[in-house]
Structure 1
Amino acid sequence: MTSVLSATRSQVAAARRIVVKVGSSSLTTAAGGLDPAHLDALVDALATRRNAGSQVVLVSSGAIASGLAPLGISRRPRDLATQQAAASVGQLALGHAYVSSFARYGLRVGQVLLTSDDVVRRSHYRNAQRTLSRLLALGAVPVVNENDTVATEEIRFGDNDRLAALVAYLVAADALVLLSDVDALYDGDPRRPGAQRIPEVLDHRDVAHVQADDAGSDVGTGGMATKLASARLASAAGVPVLLAAASDAARALGPADVGTAFATGGRRLTPRRFWLAYAADPNGKLHLDEGAVRAVVDRRRSLLAAGITALTGDFEAGDVVELADPTGTVVARGVVAFDSTELPALIGHSSRDLAPEHRREVVHADDLVPLRH
């Protein structure tokens, strides 16, 4: 790393409100159970940043992994019920460990357990936002985790990397730091010869060639693919990202001169547009012709029935749907104005050929977010 930091690294180093995510493998032993030395080292770095004047939110994996050894389980279980049981034991152990470790610096900890429902449903989203903001205002360090004790397959985040990106936007963070057992992003598996480290990502095209492995550790679920997706999500929403090794936490949270830095993709999205693009669960898909894609993505126009070639899914008016180009690539998301049962009779028809009650936008421009830039 050169002596002169990039603009992105300078933003991370100067961030007044920062979200930090740490993975299970960075907090636990190979046999399961917490590693006190690793957890204390992480808290040392977080407390130093906090006492230097920054507000810190920690998104911590490790609840399930922390419950394995106490329950006599040798590796991460595959069935949901055992995962939930391990999480119920592990959340207490993990929370107690953080409370004790942060207490060395006189800092209070508040636990916030979320399911994806809490960011998909707008009312829940606002409640989570208010809770986190109030904890920060009261001087506490929020420790966020997926609520593994009640999350089901249908409502799981899948990995806390995505949760961290959503939380970073939720709390209007100035930066996101992703800590794991890998020191940076590489263009291939870093365990294999020839893999090249990528120090800076200025545009999503810089990582189009990256072959990210999605295999996590025995105690976690997140591979590099989920970290790359999380970094791209946050940076596209206007939050600069640093991906680094947990063993480099002090430098990542200090000068930010380690790992891979992801530059932002422009101005931060409004809360509603961010929710549409990244948080809401789509209930269907509309397939568009090339003319409609250009209108929606390039000219930011409303979607009309004439530009739709097909639809899939079961949705109602007011649901979020994906918009796909002729190759099937999703290029936008939006709130649909028709039910899936009434739309088939309208697609491909000009507005002037439709009955007056159907002469409206299928997806209005104000309720539409392009995903391709």
Structure 2
Amino acid sequence: MSDASAAAGPQGAGRSERSPRVRRSEPDGAASDASAAAGPRGAGRREVAEARRVVVKIGSSSLTTAAGGLDADRVDALVDVLVKQDGRQIVLVSSGAIAAGLAPLGLSRRPADLARQQAAASVGQGLLLARYTASFARYGRRVGQVLLTSDDTSRRAHYRNAYRTLDQLFAMGVFPVVNENDTVATDEIRFGDNDRLAALVAHLVRADLLVLLSDVDGLYDGDPSRPGTRRIAQVAGPQDLAGVELGRAGRAGVGTGGMATKVEAAAIATGAGIPVVLASASQAADALSGASTGTFFRSTGRRSAGRLLWLAHASAPRGAVVLDAGAVRAITERGSSLLPAGITGVEGDFAAGEPIELRDESGRAVARGLVNFDAREIPQLIGRSTRELARELGPAYEREVVHRDDLVLLRA
């Protein structure tokens, strides 16, 4: 499969507002000075206005009531905006399954334990999709549900299947609604939050733009409740985030994301060539049009090879192998595969095909990759050549421990 794209962008503390309907945005108070720097409508955001394949992420607090149930008016308001994006292919990454399941189960807030979260997701996911189905049906449009775990998308075959499914939904005129498969995801294979999932989906579908909609109206240079703080209209790189305070999850207690997770998501996306807009759900129409609302994160990197971004950001390593200095140089400087001769140790209990870390002798992780052997097999391979192993153990052992196509370097 050809190269896919990825996108990420940072976000900081923002003010919370729970407006019930999507409306045209008006700069207010502290935001007005920062907004002025962005210039007239659409100025400096041509990539937004011209984007044809777009991933839109909506947070739980923008779809639900304070009690945790779905707010039909909010869902309809979002759909009203999305169906009017003529000429665009849109993937909607929607939180809200766990939040939607709280009220039917008599829970007052999001449970802390994974088992009850999964139970709430099991109840709420059907309610969430039914609400979207009914809302899009007002326009004669169909929706298709796609539930993902990081384990599904870091493996080559699964990654390709996810891409093909989403691409086919586009071809058939269906709005894909993506969420993490909370009902089966374990701590080891969770994305952790839908901001990061949205950035990775943007990469998967080769999106031109990622829009993060929440109950905050942009990135602020400090706590927006304090006098003098301003909304930052544009972020061109990490230097623009120096000193920015990152806020926590919203007041409603129904989601997992805060500004820190949005910063990470934006960094993933922009670092892989995808610009990001962060805005409140009430500003969705303006955010998608290229108006100077919210915060615009310019892309800082180039589009990277498909699933390697998933491997770097969405997979949880099941163990590690320790490499000698020569193997570290071969991997980091020459782009080589990892051979048994370069391994000095193994840690953890993993199976062939699972993600592991590749560490130098000081314990620093230098790369991540999908391993070709079980952990219990590796001790007999350590320090030996593939030719020697093939003679002694058979031709199945004349191969890499981690092939370079299944390996991604980690930043220092």
Q: Using structure 1 for the length normalisation, give the TM-score.
A: 0.82
Conserved? CA contact 1:242–1:252, under 8 Å: yes
Which residue number in structure 2 is paired with residue 95 of structure 1? Answer: 129
Measured in 1, the distance between the counterparts of 2:181 and 2:82 equals 23
With over 3 angstroms needed to count, the CA separation of the structure-2 counterparts of 1:99 and 1:14, relative to structure 1, is same
Which letter does structure 2 place at the counterpart of 1:47?
A: V
Unaligned runs of 5+ in 1: none
With over 3 angstroms needed to count, the CA separation of the structure-2 counterparts of 1:336 and 1:94, relative to structure 1, is closer
Which residue number in structure 1 is paired with residue 8 of structure 2? Answer: none
1:162-241 matches, cutoff 5 A: 162-192=196-226, 195=229, 197-207=231-241, 209-216=243-250, 217-241=252-276
Measured in 2, the distance between the counterparts of 1:208 and 1:338 equals 43
With over 3 angstroms needed to count, the CA separation of the structure-2 counterparts of 1:132 and 1:361, relative to structure 1, is closer
With over 3 angstroms needed to count, the CA separation of the structure-2 counterparts of 1:149 and 1:176, relative to structure 1, is same
1:1-373 matches, cutoff 5 A: 1=35, 2-3=38-39, 9-49=45-85, 52-192=86-226, 195=229, 197-207=231-241, 209-216=243-250, 217-286=252-321, 296-297=331-332, 300-301=335-336, 312-315=347-350, 319-324=354-359, 330-336=365-371, 340=375, 356-357=388-389, 363=402, 365-372=404-411
RMSD: 3.4
Higher relative contact order (CA 8 A, sep 6+): 2
Measured in 2, the distance between the counterparts of 1:249 and 1:325 equals 46
Unaligned runs of 5+ in 2: 1-34, 391-397
SS of 2:144 mapped into structure 1: strand
> 1:70, CA displacement in angstroms?
3.2
> 1:205, CA displacement in angstroms?
5.0
Which letter does structure 1 place at the counterpart of 2:74?
A: H
With over 3 angstroms needed to count, the CA separation of the structure-2 counterparts of 1:107 and 1:330, relative to structure 1, is same
| Identity percentage of aligned residues | 63
Which residue number in structure 1 is paired with residue 22 of structure 2? Answer: none
Measured in 2, the distance between the counterparts of 1:224 and 1:175 equals 19
SS of 1:77 mapped into structure 2: coil
> 1:79, CA displacement in angstroms?
3.1
- Report the more deviating stretch, 333-342 or 89-98: 333-342
Which letter does structure 1 place at the counterpart of 2:367?
A: A
Which letter does structure 1 place at the counterpart of 2:52?
A: R
Aligned length: 367
Q: Using structure 2 for the length normalisation, give the TM-score.
A: 0.75
> 1:139, CA displacement in angstroms?
0.8
> 1:25, CA displacement in angstroms?
0.2
Measured in 2, the distance between the counterparts of 1:299 and 1:214 equals 41
